[in-house]
Structure 1
């Protein structure tokens, strides 16, 4: 049986942080009050001296650990190959940047670092000895629209099998298991004047696999409000969803990669007081993980697409996870 621990990324409080309602300490305090046993730092968001970390920042981390009893357990790295205006970064440059992130994760005491798939499989393979040197497991994030065994993720899986390094793995983002439209996008469309029947048709067209431009033309021909275009784009993009009938296949894929998972990003977009995420089948996902030997963190990750702040939603999400995992 899995020995899953519950954490939260401070990204959950990104709206409050950006509005200067919370400073770094308040973000840590809110994660603690929500029930997190540890937290993730996204370096580009909350480390003033990124990509390096100062002694002052490290001192604050230790002071907050003594005060609240929780510390950083995960580090969100930045893999931006479009940093230059005239070309993409090479694999050598991406590797060098990732090694700097590894050093920072190590200094912070994190045992897991999330990397993104802009770090190529070839560069990822070359990262193995550095990850081992710093004692930090590096997980490639499986983010929507990818899925656990999509062609690109299979390339990373081949690297993990070939190197046999315990320091290379996956971090599945639960958004890749979505089986219903994104509720915040839906609510914003309704508020903008889009009719419910047009939104439902857009969702049906997506489930049927109708190409994006064809779906757009059908909706415009029916007189749909132009604001539906943003919602439609999301349905075919980074908050896309699959028909519910595909969930068993996706869960089988999750089962196959579980031995290589070093952390999970428990993505959520919305939670009513009934503690149900409308688009992501949490109970089914967690049942699969519970039956495994996974020993690591489930990191709550709120995407604040309604710009209402993540404080209350993060409390609800951790309460939901505790309920499904039968944790006190």
Structure 2
């Protein structure tokens, strides 16, 4: 295995939600990420940036100092274009454009090279509000100037073979820009039901959008990989023997190696939110992924 062909390993701070509410500071979380051998840090802007969306110069300086101290680099910045935030009406296209522009500028200031905008949805299959297209179109030039790739997320219950993905790919091809690509969330490959409960999610959301496995086939991943810029490696539970009963990691890693994917794999633990559990789960996840990558590359 060469450095040139290796994946880039990172961690989403969302993995430590239960820990950061009780035991971890942002700097502690960076130390945890570095301790598993990862080099990338993924954040949620509204949750992880103090005084979002206008952090102080002192906070930004501490952010960069912590990155340097732990040998990390920013990978992906998660943002929201909440079309329903105004009471009684949807945001206008112009308002949505400014929301995304604001977050692109902030992501760039913090060193991120990709941004995942979560647009308001209009269905349980997460069809985005039609506002997404004019908002993205208006920000492609800014994204290029700032060196940021806009990456909408393909997330359960939306499979790869879906009109939402078709529309995104059509836009990529029409726009001809390298600054709009896809993010894949590996929860779409889930094969078995998870019992993990997410606080604040409705029963309908758990049954239809969370616990129900989509079991998207690897052939579908192969079809869209040329359009993929970032992968969130979603998982729920890995046991002490490094076995994951829900996500088919060997198939995923084999597919990515075989088709020469060279981007980020950012661990996103979404299992039980208990203090310290996220830390141990991320460690197991990275040990599993690295072992599978070594095996897959040795077989080539």
Within 5 Å, give how 1:180-199 maps onto structure 2. Answer: 180-185=192-197
Residues 11 and 40, structure 2, Cα contact 8 Å, conserved in 1: yes
Question: Are 1:12 and 2:12 an aligned pair?
Answer: no
Q: Distance in 1 between matches of 2:273 and 2:43?
A: 22
Question: Are 1:155 and 2:157 an aligned pair?
Answer: no
* CA shift for structure 1 position 78: 1.9
SS of 2:232's partner is: strand
* CA shift for structure 1 position 293: 3.5
Q: Distance in 1 between matches of 2:112 and 2:119?
A: 20
Over 3 Å counting, the alpha-carbon distance change for 1:168 and 1:3 in structure 2 is farther
Over 3 Å counting, the alpha-carbon distance change for 1:129 and 1:103 in structure 2 is same
* CA shift for structure 1 position 117: 4.2
Over 3 Å counting, the alpha-carbon distance change for 1:238 and 1:127 in structure 2 is farther
**Residue in 2 that maps onto 1:124:** 136
Q: Distance in 2 between matches of 1:157 and 1:25?
A: 37
Within 5 Å, give how 1:61-80 maps onto structure 2. Answer: 61-80=63-82
Residues 183 and 279, structure 1, Cα contact 8 Å, conserved in 2: no
Q: Deviations over 1:178-209 (max 9, x none)?
A: 12101435xxxxxxxxxxxxxxxxxxxxxxxx
Q: Distance in 2 between matches of 1:132 and 1:53?
A: 23
SS of 1:89's partner is: coil
Q: Distance in 2 between matches of 1:149 and 1:126?
A: 27
**Residue in 2 that maps onto 1:198:** none
Residues 82 and 89, structure 1, Cα contact 8 Å, conserved in 2: yes
**Residue in 2 that maps onto 1:42:** 44
Q: Deviations over 1:13-70 (max 9, x none)?
A: 1111122x11110111111112211111111111112123332122112221232111
Residues 30 and 67, structure 2, Cα contact 8 Å, conserved in 1: no
Residues 53 and 104, structure 1, Cα contact 8 Å, conserved in 2: no
Counterpart of 2:158 (choices 124, 146, 165) is 146
SS of 2:151's partner is: strand
Residues 75 and 110, structure 1, Cα contact 8 Å, conserved in 2: yes
Residues 251 and 288, structure 1, Cα contact 8 Å, conserved in 2: yes
**Residue in 1 that maps onto 2:206:** 234
Q: Distance in 1 between matches of 2:25 and 2:205?
A: 34
TM-score (norm 1): 0.79
* CA shift for structure 1 position 239: 3.5
**Residue in 2 that maps onto 1:302:** 269
Mean CA deviation greater in 147-156 or 233-242: 233-242
Question: Are 1:111 and 2:108 an aligned pair?
Answer: no
Q: Distance in 1 between matches of 2:211 and 2:291?
A: 26
* CA shift for structure 1 position 148: 1.8
CA RMSD after TM alignment: 2.4
Q: Distance in 1 between matches of 2:6 and 2:56?
A: 33
Q: Deviations over 1:243-300 (max 9, x none)?
A: x5xx4xx322211111111110000111101222221111111211112233321100
**Residue in 1 that maps onto 2:251:** 284
**Residue in 2 that maps onto 1:27:** 29
Q: Deviations over 1:48-105 (max 9, x none)?
A: 1212333212211222123211132221112222212212222322221011110011
